[in-house]
Amino acid sequence: MLLLIDNYDSFTYNLYQYLTELGAEVDTHRNDKITLNDIEDLAPDGIVISPGPCTPMEAGISNDVIRRFGPTVPTLGVCLGHQCIGYVYGARVDRAGEIRHGKTSMIHHNGAGVLSGLPDPFEAIRYHSLVVYPETVPDTLEVTARSENGLIMGIRHKEHPVEGIQFHPESIMTPDGKALLQNYLNQVSAHNRTELEQLTLDIREGIDLLVSGQSLTMEQAALAMRQIMQGEATPAQLGSFLTALRLKGESTEEIAGMATVMREFSLKVHVEGTVVDSVGTGGDGSDSFNISTAAALVAAGAGVRIAKHGNRAASGRCGAADVLEALGVRIELAPEGVERCINEGGIGFMFAQAFHPSMRYAGPVRREIGIRTVFNILGPLTNPAAAQRQLIGVAFPQLGEKMAEVMRLLGSERTLVVHGKGGLDEIALDGDTTIWELHDGEVENWTFRPDATGLGRWGIEDLRGGDREANAKDHAQFAERHGRPHPRRSAA
């Protein structure tokens, strides 16, 4: 089944007609009438982003669809959809210098992807006033087609199954349009055949690859994770897999593949619009109070909608679930209850143990082998509400860029990964914090210095927490500290 995102454009009907005439089953949804979670439930084989009368910034869910599903689902953008692809991966989309509405051009191309086997050049109809600017095209994209005067008419991601075309293949004024769309359908079929072939990979083959020092592809890691989540891996196989992965060192593709499947097997929280999560990996040894949880409460009070994902203590004395439970929060709410909390109160908590039931297969092995494994860093990546904006704290600086790159592969809209002075998996208040910021598909590294904030300088010793009751009392007293310098208030 193909998902067709309608950007409120009459050409969507033509796309639907051509695709169905070519034998495709097409499910069409307006760009503001479907959520990312809905799309996950539909599990489309391919996604087509339609033309539209606006800019990429006004294209509803289109950009988020490309970010989330582009790495794994064959995606074709037409006209506005093409511009959205350029925008999502960091290119500038602006005025073309000419307006083309109902005018044909000769399209020169390199024969890649959906352009395979088409005449060079070929005639196509154009309806647009915006283009992707060539000097801003990132290294992740390949320009596949241009007009006779050099304007970009086609782009293609170098790693993901994502392509865009500026012209309209669904018009009778593009004689080779149906052949182009057939190429896309062939790509969808080939992609799905490859996935089916990969289902024969056994976790033992994955172990063998890891032991020999080879990294798994994102798809292979996902397949191994699927066997783990389904309870098909024996304890010995799981222990060997996790240990071999740790010794080799987890790659971004391996982490992303495993996170994708862990998300797939989680219970889902369906909420409209943007939600934010703040979470740390733990393991920094600081025994700090629950900073990310406190920050989530403060942000929610300021009007930010929070979908907080957390667990009981792993490395410290008190985890997010522990302190919230001590505050009287019902931490084991079902998805519907969390949805109501977010929609009505602006914040909801998803208890990891309750929302990831398939983790029961991995829990005993993790405890028995007693070493850090990839599961220690998967928690912040597997928010059941599919939060597209996150602040993630990491205890080890070598994890920073890797986590940001994983979030890019997972289609995150914006993520801040932070590592504070002294190994804090939070923003430090007594020195520099290294930040890896993911925005518009690119990762930028910068340094945050707290001196100019007016929050005071507070060391790790000022942020040490206690047990769940002590930390809950601290959280409850935040309002009473209004206007007075205090380390916990400043940290939050």
168 is known as an active-site residue: yes
**Separation of alpha carbons 112 and 168, rounded Å:** 17
Q: Which of 82, 128, 160, 170 is catalytic?
A: 170
In 440-480 the beta strands, taken as DSSP E runs, fall at 442-448
Report the residue count for the chain.
492
**Tokens at 185, concatenated:** 């359908």
128 is known as an active-site residue: no
Of 209, 124, 133, the residue nearest 174 (C-alpha): 124
**Tokens at 135, concatenated:** 């000097």
Q: Which of 157, 168, 309, 419 is catalytic?
A: 168
**Separation of alpha carbons 260 and 258, rounded Å:** 5
Q: Is 5 helix (H, G, I), strand (E, B) or coil?
A: strand
480 is known as an active-site residue: no
Of 119, 226, 95, 237, the residue nearest 179 (C-alpha): 119
Give the long-range contacts of residues 52-57, CB within 8 A, separation 24 or more: 52/7, 52/8, 52/9, 52/79, 52/80, 52/81, 53/7, 53/8, 53/9, 53/80, 54/7, 54/80, 55/80, 55/83, 55/93, 55/130, 56/80, 56/83, 56/84, 56/86, 56/87, 56/88, 56/93, 57/87
Q: Burial level of 484, CB count in 10 A (0-12/13-18/19+)?
A: exposed
Residues annotated as catalytic are: 79, 168, 170
